[in-house]
A and B are shown apart, each in its own frame.
Chain A
Amino acid sequence: MKKGILLFAYNTEFDYVNLAVICAKRLKKHLGLPITLVTDNKKLIKDSEFFDNVIELEDLSNQQKRFYNGIDSQVFTWKNLTRVYSYDLSPYDKTLVVDVDYIVNSDFLLKCMDLQADFLIFKEYNDLAKTRKNHQFEYITNFGIPFYWATVFVFEKNKKNEIFFNLLKFIKENWDYYRLIYEISDTKFRNDFAFSIAIHIISGYTTNSFYNTFPGKIHLVQDRDFLIKSAENSLLFLVEDERCQNNYSPILVNNLDVHVMNKFNILEVLS
């Protein structure tokens, strides 16, 4: 079975392609699997040695989103509409799709690729700032369905997953309808929500998920936190105290993969 990794990176006002290079470097080191990058302009890739394959595909999205870098923030274009085409785009039999702001420090995902599961996704999360409670990462709305992370997922090419991704595309094309049905107030299309809705529908409109989850939790720091230093398999963060804004405390993480939401910081520290 041919296994590989699929990354998506579209440069906007922010250099996502460079972020993809940083991500790919770590994926090659820890997982050693072939990597395919989906982007809209091959010429923007400065360091292509980490990509085995590049697919050019336009993302016509013009969504605007506020991105935080600690206490500063800027509104940028947010291109996230092509991830639902993962099934059609992947040249592999078993594919790992990873967000480019997911910093890999271990071979955990490689071991997960060998699990007897044709689809894996994270449901549980671990905010490294332990004092924070994030209801929005547990359910998509206050009275909504469980939240699943589209940040990292594994899928095998088979009929079941083809149907799942076709449903995802349908949800994307009819986003206004589905976001209203599921009482999502934000108009922006968000992959986490679309995946959560698709999993809910395909599980027979129940919360008994038809799909397997990754063992353990997705470790994360939020966009108001800072990555300040990195070494071999370690990352040092400053995480914000929920009770007191602009009050930060340090935390050192070893051998754990972390979803670092402050993308600016990744470029500054890991470039």
Chain B
Amino acid sequence: MTEDIKKAFDLANRMIVLSNQKASLLDEFEQSTLFFHNGGCFKINQTLISFVTALEDLNQSTVVLIDQNNTPILIEDLNKFKQDIINCYFQASNKYLVEYQKVQHNRDIKSILDL
């Protein structure tokens, strides 16, 4: 095997590790953006944030939202709910960004997998 081909296989192995790690970070992000409120569970995403913002723009303060299990959940203070989901989303996405960049830019596989 020539040196060039060996490098190609080394790169392939490295890419598997990076791809696994990125997938693991996404799994963690997905779980961190599940928001539990008043007996319901909501997936925080752009759609939920936009919908809640639109409801607030329509001067709604108490609403019923349908959660992940299609259960209707009463949201008594819509403004607080919006602030809470936005905070949760920012916290999770910022953490995702920091960890993702660490994986993306770190050339040393051992340090990516360091516990």
A contact residues vs B (CB 8 Å cutoff) = 106, 108, 111-112, 114-117, 126, 128-130, 212-213, 215-216, 219, 229-231, 234, 236, 239, 241, 249-256
Contacts and interface: CB of A to CB of B under 8 A. Distances in A.
Contacts of B39: 114-116
A251 B73 contact: no
Contacts of B36: 111-112, 114-115
How big is the B interface, by class? 20 to 34
Contacts of B13: 249
B84 to A, nearest CB: 14
A117 B39 CA distance: 8
B71 A117 contact: yes
Interface in B1-54: 13, 16-17, 19-21, 23-24, 27-28, 30-32, 34, 36, 39-41, 43
Contact of B34 (A114, A216, A236): A216
Nearest to B103: A252
B20 A130 contact: yes
Contact of B31 (A106, A117, A229): A106
A215 B19 contact: no
- Contact residues of B: prevailing secondary structure: helix
21 contacts: A106-B31, A111-B36, A111-B41, A114-B36, A115-B69, A116-B71, A126-B27, A215-B68, A215-B69, A241-B16, A249-B16, A250-B109, A250-B113, A251-B21, A251-B23, A253-B28, A254-B24, A255-B28, A256-B24, A256-B27, A256-B28
Contacts of A114: 36, 39
A219 B27 contact: yes
A130 B39 CA distance: 32
B65 interface: no
Contacts of A108: 31, 34
Contacts of A130: 19-20, 23
A117 to B, nearest CB: 6
Contacts of B69: 115, 117, 212-213, 215
B34 A252 contact: no
A229 B20 CA distance: 17
Contacts of B73: 116
B52 to A, nearest CB: 18
Contacts of B98: none
B28 A251 contact: no
B55 interface: no
A255 B17 contact: no
Contacts of A106: 31
B113 A236 contact: yes
Contact of A249 (B20, B31, B34): B20
B58 interface: no
A177 B22 CA distance: 45
Contacts of B17: 249-251
A148 B81 CA distance: 32
Nearest to B22: A130
A73 to B, nearest CB: 25
B88 interface: no
A251 B20 CA distance: 6
